[in-house]
């Protein structure tokens, strides 16, 4: 909710449901004698990339909202629910201890962008949805840097092949866990 308060007593004068988190402080400006109030809204940035606790599973685009005192326009809030996580067909064998190691490495290197517990806010790919083709080229993406132009850096200096295998096994384990936990489709 974006709210305007009376400065003298704190009374709420106006409010607007942005449909998504307000991400910055509002600012005001004037164009041709008309005063505007603008605010940035949307899930993004380091605090909500993990989609917790603020995102609560909602995915929505960022937007710049601008208002005038006499404005009458309405805003349709686009929001999409994430589809159920499919059960991966790709496998990486790993012991419970290796999954624990993969979890720790994922938390240290991957969670800041791809989300805690492998649950993304939608701002970057949710790795639980990675296809077999992605898993087949996982080392090329993570260590080789083949997606650098899309913002995915190379972690060649951070991961041995073995460390990378434990991270991939953990991601697949989380995907299977999420797929099993999904509610059944509605008739």
Q: Is the dihedral of CA 55, 61, 64, 65 positive or negative?
A: negative
Q: Other CB atoms closer than 10 Å to residue 37's CB: what's the count?
A: 18
* Yes or no: domain 96-181 corresponds to CATH 1.10.760.10: yes
- Domain coordinates of the chain in residue numbers? 2-81, 96-181
- Which of 128, 107, 106 is CA-nearest to residue 177? 128
> Taking the model in full, what pTM does it have?
0.67
Q: Tens digit of pLDDT for each residue in 137-167?
A: 999 999 999 999 988 999 999 999 999 999 9
Q: Tens digit of pLDDT for each residue in 73-107?
A: 887 766 666 789 999 999 999 999 999 999 999 99
3-state secondary structure of 132: helix
Q: What is the 3-state secondary structure (H, E, C) of 151-181?
A: CCCCCCCCCCHHHHHHHHHHHHHHHHHHHHH
Q: Tens digit of pLDDT for each residue in 69-81?
A: 888 888 776 666 6
pLDDT category, 43, cuts 50, 70, 90?
Answer: low
* Nearest-angstrom CA–CA distance, 44 and 21: 9
Long-range CB contacts for residues 136-140, cutoff 8 Å, separation at least 24: 136/90, 138/164, 138/168, 139/164
Place of tokens 């995102």: 55
């Amino acid at each position: 909710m974006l709210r305007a308060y009376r400065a003298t007593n704190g009374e709420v004068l106006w409010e607007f449901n942005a449909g998504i988190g307000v991400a910055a402080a509002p600012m005001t400006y004037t164009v041709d004698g008309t005063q505007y109030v603008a605010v940035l809204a949307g899930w993004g940035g380091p605090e909500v990339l993990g989609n917790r606790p603020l995102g609560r599973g909602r995915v929505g685009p960022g937007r710049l909202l601008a208002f005038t005192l006499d404005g009458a326009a309405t805003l349709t809030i686009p929001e999409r629910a994430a589809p159920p996580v499919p059960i991966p067909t790709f496998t990486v064998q790993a012991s419970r201890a290796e999954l624990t190691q993969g979890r720790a490495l994922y938390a240290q290197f991957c969670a800041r962008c791809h989300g805690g517990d492998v649950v993304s806010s939608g701002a970057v790919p949710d790795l639980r949805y990675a296809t077999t083709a992605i898993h087949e080229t996982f080392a090329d993406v993570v260590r080789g840097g083949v997606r650098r132009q899309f913002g995915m850096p190379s972690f060649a200096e951070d991961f041995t092949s073995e460390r990378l295998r434990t991270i991939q096994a953990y991601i697949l384990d989380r995907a299977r866990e999420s797929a099993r936990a999904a509610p059944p489709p509605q008739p």
